[in-house]
Amino acid sequence: MTPQQIDLVKATVPVLRENGVTLTQYFYNRMLGNNPDLKEVFNLGHQRSGAQAQALAGAVLAYAENIEDPSVLSSAIELIAHKHVSLNIQAPDYNIVGENLLHSISEVLDIPMEDPLIEAWAVAYGKLADVLINAERDMYQQHEKTKGSWLGWRKFKIAEKVQESEEISSFYLQPVDGQALPSYQAGQYISVRVLVPELGLKQPRQYTLSTNPHEDYLRISVKREPAKEDKVAGWVSNSLHNLPQGAEIEVSAPTGNFYLIDSHKTNVLISGGVGLTPMVAMLNQLVAQDMPQAVHFIHACRNSKVHAMKQHLKDLQAEYPQLKTWVAYEFPTAQDVLGQDYQAVGRLALAQLDTALLPADADYYLCGPMPFMAEQRQALLDQGIPAQNIHTEAFGTGGVKL
């Protein structure tokens, strides 16, 4: 990019801060209107909630702010590349996105396509697209080299459904073709695509694999998302829950860069609600290695009715004394008070835990709602835990921000 083009892109930062979501909402409506086949690539639930537009607005803003040195965004770009691979995004798709993005900038800002600003953003977008295409090409090539892996969508059947709590059920997925499955890192995810009857369309959504690798199945544990006063129903999650055992769905190969790094040091796994799924996968991976070091499993949820997999944790704790657990129930039931399934009432407050559960030299993994992860990360920093030891699951509803 020329210095003049860089200055033009940087000059749009105030506009993006003020009107970025308006721009990205317009962009998605324009692109999906012109390319209806992409409605089975982009999750329309994220469009409906506005989360996707907000995430893209944040990404575009971050890119504009760092246009002189986009390398500072490398970790976020890696996250996006993994998600694109899970959705089978290909290089030609970037041409469609770019064309609609540039026209959206022109139309929303009411400037002609021939304006130097549009040209500057065309160059900027082209550079970002090249970075993502190259990163995704490497990932696709890695899948091609990995035994049992695959590209795009593969048919799986729901071999078994197990209810884990009032809200969460586990789905054991077996490949219809009967061929091998790849190994993967505990903490990674797959994309699942199902027909959503309300839309008459297939819709994708990412779900963390909730156990360590097995030869004949993948497992996800999915929370049913009914409509509430402040929340719309989850189309893909609810469609999954309504499918019978034996039903077929489409699945992408495991991917993602949130996973257990080192099994030979103390690992502290901190989760909220259904965010315990990657933590259980990591724990099971450590169990498969006979749990070489201490593991501290810290979980927060509303009460025992929605506390998934608690018996699994109890069974492992009885077998492995190096596994320590701590559970906070925000709203324990009357029956909960008579039991011993939790150690604290109210929101999880790490400052109240025994410091032995939060060693300074441990690796920490966080997963749950974004506000929960931000709160727990700050609490760990306040207690002197080095930032480089804290790892968060950053993909979530609506995508990720640069």
* Residues taking part in catalysis: 94, 136
Other beta carbons less than 10 A from residue 346's beta carbon: 12
Looking at residue 231, the DSSP 8-state letter turns out to be B
For 386, the 3-state DSSP assignment is: coil
Structure tokens at 123: 């160059």
| CA distances to 85, 88, 368, 375 from 143, in Å | 10, 12, 28, 35
Q: Which of 236, 243, 237, 300 is nearest to 273 (CA)?
A: 300
Q: What is the full DSSP assignment across 252-313?
A: PPPB-S-----TTS-EEEEEEGGGHHHHHHHHHHHHHTT--S-EEEEEEES-GGG-TTHHHH
- Provide the b/e sequence for 364-382 (b: ≥16 CB within 10 Å): bbbbbeeebbebbbebbee
Contact assessment for residue 153 and residue 193, using Cβ atoms and an 8 Å cutoff:
yes
- Provide the b/e sequence for 180-195 (b: ≥16 CB within 10 Å): ebeebbbbbbbbbbbb
* Burial zone of 97 (CB within 10 Å; 0-12 exposed, 13-18 middle, 19+ buried): middle
Q: At what angle do helices 310-319 and 276-288 cross, to 10 degrees?
A: 30
Distance of CA 187 to the CA centre of its chain: 10
* Burial zone of 116 (CB within 10 Å; 0-12 exposed, 13-18 middle, 19+ buried): exposed
